[in-house]
Amino acid sequence: MDKLCLLLSLLLLGAFGFVNGGKSKEKKVFKVEVIELKTGNISAKFTNYGASVMSIIVPDKNGKPGDIVLGYDSTDAYKNDETYFGNVVGRVANRIRDGRFSLNGKEYQLRPHENGKHLLHGGHGALADAIWEVKKVKKDVADPTVLFSYDSPDGEEGFPGEVKITVRYLLRPDNRLRVTMKAKAIKQATPLNLVQHTYWNLGNHDSGDILSEELQLFANQITPIDNERIPTGKLEPVKGTPYDFLESRVIGSRINQLPGGYDINYVIEGPDDPIRMKKTAIVKDPRTGRVMKLTSNQPGMQFYTGNLLKDVKGKGGVIYKAHAGLCLLTQGFPDAVHHPNFPSIIVSPGKPYKHKMQFKFKIASDKDNKSDGKKSDAKKSDKS
Ligand SMILES: *[C@@H]1O[C@H](CO)[C@@H](O)[C@H](O)[C@H]1NC(C)=O
Ligand SMILES: *[C@@H]1O[C@H](CO)[C@@H](O)[C@H](O)[C@H]1NC(C)=O
């Protein structure tokens, strides 16, 4: 190791907070694992690299199982990934303007990396690239589960205070995936906004693009962004715009009116009550008949159509191109640290963080096709 390298390592150690008040703190090292869970007709693979979802397999309308998330076959590939496939992202997902914020009268400079300016997704080498501890695995039960944990040290990527984070994945035999992300600030208040960054393609991960899938969002408003992709602080109604998914719509129908595709935070309807699970999104894939219903307790959801995917070599050698998958990232609002009118993302020792999501998979039935509005209403009145 040459001197520059050694110096850099020492600087990094300092920046990551391993050297704590003069006392060096041993950081536990874990090996990368893959955990497979199965129940009923659903099975899934997870890895503790980034606490990630690697695959989810559910039947299509003919009973044929298929993998509906984008990803890689080997955990090694996750180390070189730049798409955040299936990762848990944080400490603060999305962008923080200029990579800085102030909290309780103190200014914090983060380690910005987007154009050397804004902080994106908590910084590189953060949660998505950490090897989490596999705390608990329960297989051979009706509701199999895996629990990952990660202790983010004081000062990681410039964020104040130590935070202990857990992510639990649980499968249910009626084709549900439940995700619970919890965090506790140990001594100091700090911003926190985790997302689960799975890319979905209900037509199977290798079926091409998601443009023919239908989407309904329970959101009347978005938080519009400026030309650096950071919220202006305003809320804007979606009705009548290309962002309008108040009724189920084909995703590709108006995507060409937006530069690159969808990448925006929606304001999910309903009370901002962390206890309540709210209807968030419904996706339907006409090719396979699969339906996914998402509920969550979060105030926002980033809808992203994989605009930046560019010839990514994924599972089975499949090449993922733009729009090969879609992300429904339940979250607090982006750049909330700079917008007092947005729901607060500050956690503190007395105010822990709990983010819940449920993904329910099924096959389209008459009831699900009701959003075709008049057609099914007509059917109903025929019957009566
Ligand atoms: C699982 O698959 C079998 C065979 O296709 C089907 O009969 C059963 O209803 C499915 N169970 C659920 C919960 O979807
Ligand atoms: C509902 O729509 C899906 C396509 O979105 C189709 O595959 C399915 O057959 C429809 N179901 C009924 C009962 O019409």
- Does the annotation place 205 within a ligand binding site? no
Q: Is 236 exposed, middle or buried (0-12, 13-18, 19+ CB in 10 A)?
A: middle
Q: Answer whether 62 contacts ligand 2 (Cβ < 6 A).
A: no
In the structure, what pLDDT confidence band is assigned to residue 384 with cuts at 50, 70 and 90? very low
Q: Which atom of ligand 1 is nearest to the CA of 174?
A: 13
- Tell whether the model's pLDDT for residue 78 goes beyond 50: yes
Question: Is 87 annotated in some ligand binding site?
Answer: no
250 lines ligand 2 (CB under 6 A): no
Calculate how far, in angstroms, residue 301's C-alpha sits from the geometric centre of ligand 1. Answer: 31
Does 147 map to a domain?
Answer: yes
* Residue 381 pLDDT greater than 60, yes or no: no
Higher-scoring residue by pLDDT: 273, 149: 149
Q: Would the annotation count 95 as a binding residue?
A: yes
Residue 3 above 50 pLDDT?
Answer: no
Atom of ligand 1 nearest to the CA of 362: 14
Q: For residue 282, tell me if it sits in a domain.
A: yes
Residue 59: pLDDT over 60? yes
* Gap from CA of 258 to ligand 2 centroid (Å): 29
SS3 14: helix
Q: How far is the CA of 365 from the centre of ligand 2 (A)?
A: 6
Mean pLDDT, residues 54-59 taken together = 98
Q: How many CA atoms lie within 13 A of 303 on its CB side?
A: 27
d(CA 52, CA 30): 15
Q: Whose CA is nearest to atom 4 of ligand 1?
A: 63
Find the range with the poorest average confidence among 40-49, 206-215, 224-233, 295-304: 224-233
- % of the chain exceeding 70 in pLDDT: 87
* 197 has binding-site annotation: yes
Atom nearest to 63 CA in ligand 1: 5
Neighbours of 361 (CB within 10 A): 20
CB contact at 8 A, 146 and 161: no
Report the DSSP pairing between strands 52-59 and 65-67. Answer: antiparallel
Element (H, E) at 278: strand 278-284
pLDDT 10s digits, 325-337: 999 999 999 999 9
Atom of ligand 2 nearest to the CA of 284: 5
Q: Is residue 383 part of a domain?
A: no
Going by their DSSP bridges, the two strands 163-172 and 145-152 should be labelled as antiparallel
Q: Which range of residues forms the domain containing residue 234?
A: 34-369
Å from CA of 172 to ligand 1 middle? 13
pLDDT of 261 > 90? The answer is yes
Kindly give the residue spans of alpha helices, DSSP state H, lying in the chain.
3-15, 75-79, 374-383
Domain membership flag for residue 378:
no
| pLDDT of res. 103 | 95
Question: Is 22 within the bounds of a domain?
Answer: no
- How remote is the CA of residue 116 from the centroid of ligand 1, in Å? 51
The CB of 175 under 6 Å from ligand 1? The reply is yes
Positive or negative, the CA dihedral 267, 270, 276, 279 is negative
Query: Taking residues 129-135, what's their average pLDDT?
Result: 97
- 366 close to ligand 2 (CB < 6 Angstrom): yes
Ligand positioned closest to the Cα atom of 362? 1
- Name, in order, each residue with C-beta under 8 angstroms of 90's C-beta and a sequence gap of 6 or more: 121, 122, 126, 127, 128, 165, 192, 193, 194, 195
Nearest to 194 by CA among 232, 164, 158: 164
* Segment 235-260 mean pLDDT: 97
Specify the ligand 1 atom closest to the Cα of 41.
1
Asked if residues 96 and 118 have their Cβ atoms less than 8 Å apart, the reply is: yes
Rounded alpha-carbon distances, angstroms, from residue 173 to 74, 141, 145, 200: 27, 10, 12, 20
Instruction: Report which bound ligand comes closest to the CA of 367.
Output: 2
pLDDT tens digit sequence for 170-210? 999 999 999 999 999 999 999 999 999 999 999 999 999 99
Distances from the Cα of 275 to the Cα of 182, 221, 293, 353, 357, angstroms: 13, 22, 19, 11, 12
| pLDDT band at residue 267 under the 50/70/90 scheme | very high
CATH code, domain carrying 104: 2.70.98.10
Inside any domain, residue 219 = yes
Q: Is 78 annotated as a binding residue?
A: no
Q: Does residue 66 lie within any of the structural domains?
A: yes
What pairs with residue 142 in β-bridges? none
- Six-digit token pair at 215? 């989407």
| 183 and 163 Cβ atoms separated by less than 8 Å | yes
**Ligand 1 center from residue 171 Cα (angstroms):** 15
Q: Which of 38, 41, 360, 362 to mutate to test the pocket of ligand 1 (most atoms within 8 A of CB)?
A: 41
The alpha carbon dihedral of 77, 80, 83, 84 has a sign of positive
Instruction: Report the candidate in 48, 190, 50, 47 with the shortest Cα–Cα distance to residue 127.
Output: 50
pLDDT higher than threshold 80 for residue 352: yes
CA distance 18 to 12: 9
Give the model confidence (pLDDT) of 281-309 as tens digits. 999 999 999 999 999 999 999 999 999 99
What residues does 170 pair with on adjacent strands? 145, 178
Q: Is residue 76 part of a domain?
A: yes
**Across all residues in the chain, what is the average pLDDT?**
89
Q: How many domains does the chain have?
A: 1
End-to-end CA distance of the chain: 81
Q: Is the CB of 63 under 6 A from ligand 1?
A: yes
